[in-house]
Structure 1
Amino acid sequence: MQHVQISDLTGLITILTFLGSLVIFLFKRIVIDPLRQSIEALNKTIEGFKLTAEKRMELLENRVDVVEDKSTRYEEQIKSVFNLLERR
C-alpha cells in the first residue's frame, strides 16, 4: 500500500485549482461576456423603443387635448343654439 505524501496531495490540489480556474476563465469568456454584450444591446434597443413610445404617447395626448377642446367648444355652441331655439 502506498502512502500519499503531502507534496503529492499539494501538487494534485494545485493542478485541480489551475484547471478549475481555467474552466471558470473560459466559461466567462465564452458564455458570460457574449451574454453581457447581448443584454447591453437588448437594453439599448428597448431604450430606443421606450423613447419612441414616449414621443408617440405625447403626440397622441396632445391630439386628444385638441379634440377635447374642440368637443367642448362644439358642445357650448350646441347649447347656445338650443337656448336660442327655446327662447323663440
Structure 2
Amino acid sequence: MAAADIALAPAPLTLDRVPLFGAFARALLGTHGVLALVAVALLLILWAGAVVAFGLPGLYLPAVVAAPLMVAMLVLISRG
C-alpha cells in the first residue's frame, strides 16, 4: 500500500476556518484576547466591502446611520 493510496478525509468546515470570520470566531472562543480589535477590523473590512460593492453611497451611508446612534448613546450615557 503506497502513501498515495490512502485517502484523507476532508477536515470539517467550522466557523474558525472561514477566512474573513475565522479570527473573530477564535476570539469569541477565547483563544485570543483581542476581541475588540478583531471586531473593529471586521467592521472596517465590511465597510470596505460596501464601498467596493456600492461605491460612494457605501462609504457615506454607514456614517450617516451611525451619527444618530452615537447621539443616542451619548444621551444614554449622560443620563447615568
Considering Cα pairs closer than 8 Å and 6+ residues apart, tell me whether 1 or 2 has the greater RCO: 2
Work out which of the two has the higher radius of gyration on C-alpha atoms and give 1 or 2. 1
Q: So what's the TM-score if we normalise by structure 1?
A: 0.29
Q: Which structure is higher in helix share?
A: 1
Q: So what's the TM-score if we normalise by structure 2?
A: 0.31
